[in-house]
Amino acid sequence: MKKIWIVFIIIAVAGVIAMFRFLKPAKTEIEPVVDSSIVKPVEISKAKRGEIRAELQLSGTIEAKAQVSVFPKIAGRIISLSIEEGDKVTAGQSLAVVEHEELKLAIQQAEAVLNSAEVAYSQTHQLAEVLVHTQVAQASAQLKAAEISLIQVMDLAEIRTVTQIHQAEAGLKSLEANLEKIKTGARDEDRNQAEAGLNQAKSNLLNAENNYARIENLYKNGAISQQSFENTKTQLDIATAQHKIATEQLQLITSGAREEDITAMEAQVEQAVAALTLAQSQAKTKTWQKDIALAQSQVDSAQAGLNSAQTLVKAKSWEAEITSARTSMTQAEISLKLARKKLKDATIEAPISGIISQRFLDLGGMAAPTAPLFEIVDVSTVKATIDLIESQLNRIKLDQQAEITIDGINSPITGTISYISPTLQPVRRTATVEFSIQNTDGILKPGMFAKLTLPVEIRPDVVLIPRVSLIENAKTKTPNVFIVEAGISKQLPVEIGLTSGGNVEIRKGLNGGESVIVAGQHSLKVGDSVTVVNQ
Whole-angstrom Cα distance, residue 313 to residue 194? Answer: 66
Tell me the β-bridge partners of 383.
Answer: 63, 436
pLDDT of res. 188: 64
* Residue spans per domain, the chain: 29-54+459-532, 107-317
Whole-angstrom Cα distance, residue 82 to residue 97? Answer: 10
Q: Give the torsion sign (CA, 299, 305, 306, 311).
A: positive
| DSSP labels, 255-280 | H---HHHHHHHHHHHHHHHHHHHHHH
107-317 fold: Helix Hairpins (1.10.287)
For residue 399, CA distances in Å to 362, 417, 436, 449 come to: 44, 5, 9, 22
Work out the burial of residue 414: count CB atoms within 10 Å of its CB; fewer than 13 is exposed, 13-18 middle, 19 or more buried: exposed
pLDDT of res. 162: 65
- 6-36: pLDDT as tens digits: 434 444 444 434 444 433 433 333 444 545 5
pLDDT < 50 stretches in the chain: 1-32, 34
**CATH class of this structure's domain 29-54+459-532:** mainly beta
pLDDT of res. 46: 93
**Hey, is 414 helix, strand or coil?**
strand
